[in-house]
Chains A and B, each alone.
Chain A
């Protein structure tokens, strides 16, 4: 069996205790559900000397209503809890759907929302321990003439061609959620659209989280609560698999016309990609076959596919068109 390396395990009961441990152990790794972390350790690609299990911190868990009609979702709330919560389903059905489409039931029962948005990329070369740019090396193994890169990026590649693997991330960006991070003694609020960073900014991480930072939770504002929402994930398998492309959309309609729209696509860039071309195209228009045709023409504009991921272009176009089609009913 793949046995993990030896490490010290800490199970603090409060954020302050966790911070104290993180301060004394700069190389410590924060774990909550552990669904992604344990694979890293079993494969011996990452071997942190200390683990801080934040799943026992009560204040990081749970879903509560906010004054503005939105929701506060603690970072260690499990994906099953997000998917089955009555308030999430009523206000933000696409977030519930996205959380319910992650991996498999047993994984969702332990995996957390915070872990799902903060997880590392699924690039197989990086995961297998290749010394690539993201791992601190000086080459990309996924962007060579023979590399298998059908899961990789189409936009904003900068040395690294990895993509965001998360299903909940596009939903949260589309809902204009705010990530709340404990950094030192202060709480930092970062919009979800800025929480995820591309290789241009820092090639070794996917989010703005730095060492010692703890993601406390996500504030989903009331802005899109109760709006028309759509989430669809296209993957090779219905269970376990990460999205090849997924699309999340929140929109409002009035008198048969779209009055506001927020559409985000995952799996095509290192960060969730806002489809601003589609948004500006559909606002003010009535959904229908004609609009869908136009949406398809602009949805994947600017895409620069690699050797094996050209299929993502029509996938992205069709998912965007299907999202718009959902507004017609």
Chain B
């Protein structure tokens, strides 16, 4: 009858696991060094080198069967994003968010809910805002895509919307900001002098969990005075 039952102080139990090595200053010595690489840099590296792609065949659907029917779409397509035309290999079941983030490395576009319910993935297709997470890349391959990276001028000058968002402290955690920027720019391209209600309506498809809606709204109205 050993090992089962309440603790008995008269019994000499075997000792537990050995105590870990302690350094000279009384600190635990880690056996590894932290990798000084941001998540963004890591993702870029993955996209550029393709090293991890082989390990994630499920995500990238590289195992999909060859086209059985010649009428079905070709995987190799040219996609115009931010004025540059890319030739990319896109399986039929890939969403636009996936293509622009993981094939083109444009990680400014965020995927929040992946169900067309939050707006973080908003991009423009021919000037019209769409949820890239819920749009097949093949569906919009003939359209001009503009992501948040294509909003600022090539020399890095921010778009009035971006500048106004900074001034109005619109981004709190910032995750919804790329979508908010794209929605606001699309609105001002179409309607440079929106009323507050029109602006609110145009941004209504973008959730902000920090609740900075009024800040975004003020940003749009401020930007409208400058464009």
Residues of A at the B interface (CB closer than 8 Å) are: 1-12, 17, 21, 24, 31, 34-35, 38-39, 41-42, 50-51, 53, 55, 80, 103-107, 109-110, 238-240
Contacts and interface: CB of A to CB of B under 8 A. Distances in A.
A1 B111 contact: yes
Interface string B97-131: 01000000000000100111101001000001111
Contacts of A4: 93, 95
Nearest to B73: A9
B58 A106 contact: no
A38 B92 contact: no
Interface of B: 58-59, 61, 64-65, 67-69, 71-73, 91-93, 95, 98, 111, 114-117, 119, 122, 128-131, 134-136, 138-139, 183, 201-202, 204-205
Contacts of A105: 129, 183, 201-202, 204-205
A53 B135 CA distance: 12
A21 B93 contact: no
Contacts of A6: 61, 64-65, 91-93
B101 to A, nearest CB: 10
Nearest to B92: A9
A38 B133 CA distance: 9
Contacts of A21: 71
A43 to B, nearest CB: 9
A1 B59 contact: yes
Contacts of B131: 106-107, 110
B136 A38 contact: yes
A117 B79 CA distance: 31
A220 B205 CA distance: 29
A38 B95 contact: yes
A39 B116 contact: yes
B71 A51 contact: no
Contact of B204 (A12, A110, A238): A238
Contact of B130 (A10, A41, A106): A106
A230 B128 CA distance: 28
A55 B138 CA distance: 11
Contacts of B201: 105
B139 A106 contact: no
A239 B134 contact: no
B57 to A, nearest CB: 11
11 contacts: A6-B93, A8-B68, A9-B72, A38-B136, A103-B205, A105-B202, A105-B204, A106-B116, A110-B139, A238-B204, A240-B205
Given A24-B69, A106-B130, 10 more contacts: A1-B59, A6-B64, A7-B93, A9-B92, A35-B134, A38-B116, A53-B136, A80-B128, A103-B205, A107-B116
A106 B73 contact: no
Contacts of B65: 6
Given A3-B59, A10-B72, A106 B119 contact: yes
Contacts of A238: 204
Contacts of A34: 134-136, 139
Contacts of B128: 80, 109
A7 B64 CA distance: 9
B204 A239 contact: yes
Given A6-B91, A55-B139, A109-B130, A39 B73 contact: no
A80 B135 CA distance: 16
B68 to A, nearest CB: 7
Nearest to A24: B69
Contact of B114 (A5, A42, A104): A42
Contacts of A109: 128-130
A39 B113 CA distance: 11
A2 B114 contact: yes
Contacts of B91: 6
A53 to B, nearest CB: 6
Nearest to A11: B73
Given A3-B59, A38-B95, A105-B202, A9 B136 contact: yes
B114 A106 contact: no
